Structure 1
């Protein structure tokens, strides 16, 4: 019942926020202009990095082909700072941006390695020893900055990207992943593992198999609804959820049930759906200045209910809805809120 209600809400936002579909102008902007408008704010005007990762790196440019760049622009990195532009840019426009980025490359394209069959189980052990210290124990990436200078910190250290991410896995080929291990990224903490005393060819194949195995799951921030299930009973989980909301600098507003206000004769479930409403007034102010329509799904709220013997926490995913508003700066805000939703729920279930 709750899921159906949420999906109906999503349909409402689609009708409310999508606007008319416009054909691409005859005199459409160049790749440089499109990069400046959609990418430079995060990646820097010359691709040297900022809130977003640096792109103007020779080791990256020599192995990142046009298809990888276009897929990255299309899918983004769900749950991270990088928004997807599938609804904002046409395929032709994404291609122009990719061509502009490729124009920074100075040397010839690197020959990508062959990838043989690997053991995901052995790769998991290798990942824990060699990669988890930077990329996270499950490949979730380093902690993202909340403001500029962003990924480039005061120590000029690049925050390691998320590998266990639907956007990355959709864009990166097995050969690209292995080539990154072989070559590393000069100018970042990512060193080359292709030396004689580093990883063997088979070990790199095992790592590729393990990283690729993550693609069999679904990124929780790629769905219209964010959902976390818990074995805790509802009366124990809700107080933990309130504490987690407060710990993320949100103001708790109120708790109510989905059927509150209905007449006594109305049929109600044995286990009510509790709705927790909360808000960050600073984020709210910034979002409304970008587009007043975001008020349609504010304040923030998480629903808690019982299903299949477990307690479920769920919320509408702002990240999945933001492309409907056709504003890149709003996508950055919605990505942040979606990530906070997920962290709040996960920490309440810790």
Structure 2
């Protein structure tokens, strides 16, 4: 019996959306690597977008090469930017060299060294001066979509300060330099010019550093902990199961988009297997929320459930959104995918009860 490998085809499509790997070469091209891996979020010339601007002298003169390297290697877990662990040392160096070409001159790199402040006082100062942009718990600005058209509260999305990747890359002195000097060309102004003393700034830095001692608010997890599909056995025929799925979806405020065989469009209608059916359904509020978070969810929305008759009975299956969410490194999307899994499971359970 011919089985259309729907999930295999989708897996191939998803694989094409992952960051392509780079073969090691003698002299990596930093500009080419940037266009391949970074430009979509940080802009062709580093002017920023979803990602922070990288071409600002105020930024470049306040960070070290080591910070840039560690940021590329570790990424920002849960904040769209992946870890580019597949890039070799020479490729990372070439990327950093390309970034530096946008701000010629000699950066004033902050020295290393621990800053001894009072995190409790810093917490109150953070709430007063930082939380409106960086989030009450350092979670970063809202709006972690991946196109320039996504809604946001500020022209530049403020980075997450409680992020493992940021804290691993940023030294105390680097954080302090950002607070003292601000980021010209962004909404962040100099806190020293706002009247904060050196002691107060040290307290803020100590509070930001204390995020390292708190539980990770956006644990990445392991994709292998999630099955690729949500699958149930149905005691009914394919036709009966499909009708039950449609009723269950409509009963949960979804609209049926279409119902078709899996082979529709691949083979002439007389040759299509009627015992392999896919049901498409949609809740437009859910779709709008998902697209506002990350438009890449178009890979697995609208919702779809497949019904297939096999030798051991009728199977009902859907792609597991939680497994797919791991591809996108977007904690906000992960929460929505948790909701989607419950919806899929409830609809399929009702249809196969």
TM-score by length of 2: 0.60
- State the number of aligned residues: 246
The corresponding residue for 2:335 is 342
Distance 1:141 1:221 in 2: 15
Distance 2:337 2:325 in 1: 15
Distance 1:281 1:105 in 2: 36
1:249 corresponds to 2:284: no
Distance 1:58 1:151 in 2: 26
1:169 corresponds to 2:167: yes
Distance 1:39 1:139 in 2: 24
Report which stretch shifted further, 100-109 or 124-133. 100-109
Closer, same or farther: CA 23–47 of 1 in aligned 2, 3 Å: closer
The corresponding residue for 2:320 is 300
Q: Deviation string for 1:119-157 (max 9, x for gaps)? A: 11111111000000111111111112535325897x982
Q: Deviation string for 1:253-293 (max 9, x for gaps)? A: xxxxxxxxxxxxxxxxxxxxxxxxxxx9733279xxxxxxx
Out of 184, 188, 213, the residue aligned to residue 210 of structure 2 is: 213
Out of 287, 300, 308, the residue aligned to residue 284 of structure 1 is: 300
SS of the counterpart of 2:32?
helix
**Structure possessing the higher relative contact order (Cα contacts under 8 Å, 6 or more residues apart):** 1
1:160 corresponds to 2:154: no
Q: Are the aligned partners of 1:226 and 1:342 in contact in 2 as well (CA < 8 Å)? A: no
Distance 2:122 2:190 in 1: 17
Distance 1:147 1:25 in 2: 28
Distance 1:68 1:136 in 2: 22
The corresponding residue for 1:124 is 123
The corresponding residue for 2:32 is 33
Q: Are the aligned partners of 1:248 and 1:340 in contact in 2 as well (CA < 8 Å)? A: no
Mark the structure with the bigger radius of gyration: 2
Q: Which runs of 5+ in 1 are unaligned?
A: 1-12, 228-241, 252-279, 287-296, 302-314, 323-333
Closer, same or farther: CA 186–150 of 1 in aligned 2, 3 Å: farther
Q: Which runs of 5+ in 2 are unaligned?
A: 1-10, 16-20, 226-251, 254-281, 290-295, 303-316, 340-353
Q: Are the aligned partners of 1:181 and 1:193 in contact in 2 as well (CA < 8 Å)? A: yes
Closer, same or farther: CA 343–152 of 1 in aligned 2, 3 Å: closer
Shift of 1:29: 2.9
> Cα RMSD over matched residues?
3.7
Closer, same or farther: CA 317–138 of 1 in aligned 2, 3 Å: farther
The corresponding residue for 2:77 is 78
Q: Deviation string for 1:188-242 (max 9, x for gaps)? A: 10000123x5211111111111111111233533322699xxxxxxxxxxxxxx9
Q: Are the aligned partners of 1:115 and 1:178 in contact in 2 as well (CA < 8 Å)? A: no
Shift of 1:34: 0.8
Q: Deviation string for 1:88-117 (max 9, x for gaps)? A: 211221111011112222332225266531
Q: Are the aligned partners of 1:76 and 1:84 in contact in 2 as well (CA < 8 Å)? A: yes
